[in-house]
Structure 1
Amino acid sequence: MNKILYALLFIFLIASSFQQPPTGKKDKKAPAIINSSAKARVDATLKSFVDSGKIAGVSALIFEKNKEVYHNAFGYADREAKAKMDRNTIVRIYSMTKPVTGVALMKLYEKGAFQLDDPLSKFIPEFADMKVYKGLDASGNLILEPLKRPITVRDITRHTAGFATTTDLPGIRDVLQKADLSNPNNTLEQMVKKLASLPLLFQPGEQWSYGPSVDVQAYLVERLSGKPFAQYLQENIFTPLGMTNTRYVVAPGDRKRFAATYRKSVEGQLARIPDADNLFNTKEFALTPGGWGLTSTLDDYMKFARMLVNEGTLGKAKILKPETIKLMATNHLSDSVTQRMWLPSKGQVGFGIDFAVRLHPPATKEENNGVVGEFFWDGAASTLFWVDPVNDLTAVLFVQVFPFDGKLHKSFRDAVYGPFMPN
């Protein structure tokens, strides 16, 4: 018996000696991430982006333990106009709109307006009788099968609804082009009803496929609140947080602060995208997307990020409850969801409610740096933000370059956290 007890004790001691992964809770005794060495690394990294010609301009802002610990900007917001990039520059944040929409929706969740596993058709009846694409028959007609289960609200918060986005499947390209979902003259209601008329590409919950789910969330906010989506954002998020520079349409008086966007060629040359091709944020349109479309400044978006790291509050503003933030920052993808498009390129992550969620530390120096428990997202013009609850750190990176450049994010993260240290 004694031998058994000694063996069990030995196993316990060995097991307890292994370091446990971070839990996502703040470590008040942890050493500062942004010290003088980190600041020098970040400065050098951002400057190198501009000096190498990869981008026209860049700015970054970092808060740690509720204090601003880093800000700098390099290059031009508008290279042709010689307008410098700075913290007051307004940029197009594209898909960094999505987490804002998620917060808007979850405010209604806290009021009991819906449950995550409610059928979406309970609130938007057009989604009641969806069909799933299985190919074409010999005559070129779509082969469709019925749903195995309804699309749920949870599906539209984690990109598992199955909405059609790809144009490389026979028959799907034509119906997508005809629907013209992203036409800015569509209202949210018109866009969503057109989407509901299309076949799904897979059974709900079976794959992760990035697409218009968050636009559906925005329409759901309108249906549940009875208010236009932009108005709801203003009243429930932007005004309480003091986000005075975040909106869909940039006012004429602020256009001089509005960054140009650039496209990088295969050869690495930057070309300014003509203003005539970028009218969405300078003209009123019917569409107020939930998945893209907002413009913001570093300080404005940092207020949003700090609200998240502070578990739903910032100053006197109480946007969400701590348990709701935790729910949003928890992985909602099961291991059975193996088809995840390009999500694995962002590291060993899952997906919560409109955020990627880091599940494991980087295994190699090639992976994106970060801390288990962080949640984050980025935008098509290569903007990025993340929330690191363990170190009480939030970071926002603004650039305006296409195509999306994940290497910029990798370099910025490495500069913030330092060299990769294998476990």
Structure 2
Amino acid sequence: MKTLRTLLLAALVPLTSLAAPLVVPTRLEATLSGMVQRGEVVGVSALVFEQGKEAYFGAFGMADREAGRAMSRDTLAVIYSMTKPVTAVALLQLQEQGKLQMDDPIEKHLPEFGNLRVWAGGTAADPQTVALDRPLTIRDLGRNTAGFAAGAGLPDGLKQLADEAWAGASWNTNLRGLARIAARLPLVHQPGARWRYDIPTNIQARLVEKVSGQPYDVYLAEHIFKPLGMTYTRYVVADQDADLGQLAATYVRQPDGSFQRQPDAQAHAFNRKNWAQKPGASGLVSTLDDYAQFARMLLAEGVGPNGARILKPETVRLMATNVLADSVTDRQWLPDKGNTGFGVNVGVRVGPPRHRDDVSGAPGEFFWDGAANTLFWVDPKHQIVTVLFSQFFPAGDARLNKAIRAAVYADEPEAFAGNRPPKP
């Protein structure tokens, strides 16, 4: 008979340690290799950790088809918007230090935003604006509810103003310059009213730079990359860098399904030169293992696999908690990501898939992807971290996203809705 002490000790064991593993390596292997064999991708790689252990690694196809260089574990990929969660961590570190707070008006730290107005109609020659209902806050930046006049979907008059204002910007425009341009333009909506994917993460990066007193790339290297041992992650891949040959080529899927190589001068124009701009929204290159170090830190509530404390547990929970109010019904294309809200620079899955064709995933997961079809997610319930790399356009390839999720969660009914896909 078990003693009372034995029963009490058993009750203290985390439920995640008792759960049967979900990841089946042969299923992932068949899924990813099959996509290459069918010509759905040129190259793809994935790294999965489950319950603290490496559960799967696989690399298939070519990182550089024309050079005959295979996709591998140390392939360098341009991760585009997977830069954004890194920016969230940088910003939240400064909150922990008391140097800023999420509900601070951004003008408290960046005075150029002190005269913001909201577009109310008119033309570029005769703009009509109204006062803000409330100050624009750092929280608005983190959840994409700021409403800067950048990106798609602007009213005609405001679009003309924005096009003129942004016309002079280039990669040689530093973060301070980007912030000044954004501050001169009316907002497209009242703070907090809509979810719009524009430039708030670049303004976050400017905040980090201003408040920390360090150039943004220097801050990231010193406070995130070096402590986590992310030795490959950076903005610039220079001619003399020993790992230049690891940089993956980028491809564009054609209407007939074939892939055409994007010229390297175009695909790597940003990363092959040390431009003045180091964006918070995009631009980093990384490897599977490097980014997995970052993602595993988030799963472990702020502690990297090497023991480095990057954030406090409560700060990671803040980052990974949906803060989009139900009243924010205009969410641009965010619903295409699944049953999803938004935390700080990450999508947060708020429930099971809504219908059979919805993007699958476990409730409580937080994630983001990159324009060239890179993807990561952190699943606290099942203690899973997944990082997937490919390098092709168009962005947001649904078949790749759905295939990797189906392969990981094939034995978890909660991750699907309606008719579950057949197990790969």
TM-score, shorter chain, exceeding 0.5: yes
CA distance in 2, matches of 1:27, 1:316: 20
Q: Residues 112 and 372 of structure 1: is their aligned pair in 2 closer, same or farther, counting only changes over 3 Å? A: same
Q: Which of 343, 350, 353 matches 1:362?
A: 353
Task: Please tell me the root mean square deviation across aligned C-alpha atoms, in Å.
Answer: 1.6
CA distance in 1, matches of 2:39, 2:78: 20
Query: Does residue 1:401 correspond to 2:400, yes or no?
Result: no
Corresponding residue for residue 257 of structure 2: 268
Corresponding residue for residue 409 of structure 2: 417
Q: Name whichever of 405-414 and 320-329 sits farther off.
A: 405-414
Corresponding residue for residue 136 of structure 2: 151
Deviation at 1:128, TM superposition (A): 1.2
Structure 1 residue runs of 5 or longer lacking an equivalent are 1-24
Deviation at 1:43, TM superposition (A): 1.3
CA distance in 1, matches of 2:196, 2:100: 23
Q: Post-superposition, which runs of at least 4 consecutive aligned residues in structure 1 deviate over 6 A?
A: none
Is the contact between residue 104 and residue 237 of structure 1 (CA under 8 Å) also seen in structure 2? Answer: yes
Q: Which of 207, 215, 223 matches 1:220?
A: 207
Query: Does residue 1:123 correspond to 2:112, yes or no?
Result: no
The within-5 A match list for 1:9-28 is 27-28=16-17
Corresponding residue for residue 422 of structure 2: none
Corresponding residue for residue 68 of structure 1: 54
Q: Which of 66, 80, 95 matches 1:80?
A: 66
Q: Name whichever of 65-74 and 355-364 sits farther off.
A: 355-364
CA distance in 2, matches of 1:89, 1:359: 33
Q: Which of 309, 312, 332 matches 1:318?
A: 309
TM-score (norm 1): 0.90
Q: Residues 373 and 236 of structure 1: is their aligned pair in 2 closer, same or farther, counting only changes over 3 Å? A: same
> CA offsets, 1:235-292, max 9 Å, x none?
0000000000000011332221000111112222211111121311011100000000
Q: Name whichever of 282-291 and 364-373 sits farther off.
A: 364-373
CA distance in 2, matches of 1:78, 1:123: 44
CA distance in 2, matches of 1:308, 1:195: 31
Q: Which of 269, 273, 276 matches 1:279?
A: 269
Q: Which of 176, 180, 193 matches 2:162?
A: 176
Amino acid at match of 1:92: V
Quote the sequence identity (%): 49
Amino acid at match of 1:143: Q
Corresponding residue for residue 307 of structure 1: 297
Q: Which of 89, 97, 101 matches 1:103?
A: 89
Amino acid at match of 1:375: F
Q: Residues 232 and 313 of structure 1: is their aligned pair in 2 closer, same or farther, counting only changes over 3 Å? A: same
Q: Name whichever of 74-83 and 246-255 sits farther off.
A: 246-255
SS of aligned partner of 1:318: coil
Q: Name whichever of 206-215 and 46-55 sits farther off.
A: 46-55
Structure 2 residue runs of 5 or longer lacking an equivalent are 1-13, 419-424
> CA offsets, 1:360-396, max 9 Å, x none?
0124332222111111100011110000111111000
CA distance in 1, matches of 2:50, 2:411: 19
Deviation at 1:173, TM superposition (A): 3.0
Q: Which of 272, 275, 282 matches 1:292?
A: 282
TM-score (norm 2): 0.90
Is the contact between residue 328 and residue 352 of structure 1 (CA under 8 Å) also seen in structure 2? Answer: yes
The within-5 A match list for 1:373-384 is 373-384=364-375
Query: Does residue 1:89 correspond to 2:80, yes or no?
Result: no
Deviation at 1:197, TM superposition (A): 0.9
Amino acid at match of 2:148: F
Query: Does residue 1:114 correspond to 2:100, yes or no?
Result: yes
Q: Name whichever of 333-342 and 271-280 sits farther off.
A: 271-280
Is the contact between residue 104 and residue 221 of structure 1 (CA under 8 Å) also seen in structure 2? Answer: yes
The within-5 A match list for 1:236-255 is 236-252=223-239, 253-255=242-244
